[in-house]
């Protein structure tokens, strides 16, 4: 078996050059470890698909005997977890405020009339964090997520060592989701920090937790 590849998966409407992705790449680059930052805006932000992102991750891992550690932020965390439950080449996960129960939460947080407009018109206005511009995403994004992560009460069936870092004041993904996912799982470690969803204020704490967790995979 080869040494694992380290793949970073950015969040929704973000990109490979995100602040956290860059920080991780620079932090581990100083140790001679390459963090490959994948682009999950597939096939485009307007037509974003969870299934396309999962396929890209599987392709990036490599061959049958290759291994990977997946580091995912928010939507990237959900992507990483859903890949890990079906791909034995994933040997560990680092999930930063993972967007568990995505379809369920989006449906619940949107007023019925707003959700209906998205469904009927086909488009929802969003902010593109990578460009700082206004953008839109089609309703098929929601439908695609629902095929993978839409069952009510559904959780990724992850069996590999997993570190979750989640902010107690997360305004987008309630930390209770990560607490529920980690409960009773000896292979899952949850680190709670006093931060928002972006986890930028406590980034040194996150990186230190990742250093300790990833030590067995870093080859000294």
Domains of the chain (ranges; CATH) run: 5-100+157-217 (3.40.50.1820)
Percentage with pLDDT > 70 across the chain: 98
**pLDDT band at 215; cut points 50, 70, 90:** very high
Task: Determine whether 156 is exposed, middle or buried from the number of CB atoms within 10 Å of its CB (0-12, 13-18, 19+).
Answer: buried
- Separation between Cα atoms, residue 12 and residue 150, nearest integer Å: 17
Here the tokens at position 66 are 């290759």
- Separation between Cα atoms, residue 28 and residue 19, nearest integer Å: 14
**pLDDT band at 88; cut points 50, 70, 90:** very high
More confident residue, 193 or 217: 193
What's this model's pTM, rounded to 2 decimal places? 0.96
**pLDDT band at 2; cut points 50, 70, 90:** low
Question: Peptide bond before 43: cis, by omega within 30 degrees of 0?
Answer: yes
Predicted confidence (pLDDT) per residue in 148-207, tens digit = 997 777 899 999 999 999 999 999 999 999 999 999 999 999 999 999 999 999 999 999
Pairing mode of beta strands 5-9, 35-38: parallel
Give the per-residue pLDDT at 153. Answer: 72
């Amino acid at each position: 078996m080869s040494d694992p590849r380290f793949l970073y998966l950015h969040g929704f409407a973000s990109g490979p050059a995100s602040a956290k992705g860059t920080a991780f790449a620079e932090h581990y680059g100083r140790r001679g470890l390459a963090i490959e930052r994948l682009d999950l805006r597939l096939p485009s932000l307007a037509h974003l698909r969870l299934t396309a992102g999962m396929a890209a991750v599987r392709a990036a891992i490599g061959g049958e005997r290759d291994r990977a550690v997946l580091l995912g932020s928010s939507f990237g965390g959900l992507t990483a977890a859903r890949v890990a439950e079906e791909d034995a080449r994933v040997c560990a996960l680092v999930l930063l405020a993972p967007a568990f129960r995505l379809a369920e939460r989006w449906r619940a947080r949107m007023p019925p009339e707003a959700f209906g407009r998205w469904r009927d018109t086909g488009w929802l206005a969003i902010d593109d964090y990578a460009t700082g511009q206004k953008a839109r995403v089609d309703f098929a994004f929601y439908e695609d997520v629902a095929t993978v992560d839409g069952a009510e009460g559904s959780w990724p069936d992850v069996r590999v060592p997993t570190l979750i870092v989640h902010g107690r004041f997360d305004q987008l993904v309630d930390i209770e989701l990560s607490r529920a996912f980690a409960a009773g799982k000896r292979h899952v470690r949850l680190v709670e920090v006093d931060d928002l969803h972006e986890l930028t204020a406590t980034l040194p704490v996150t990186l230190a937790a990742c250093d300790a967790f990833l030590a067995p995979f870093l080859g000294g």
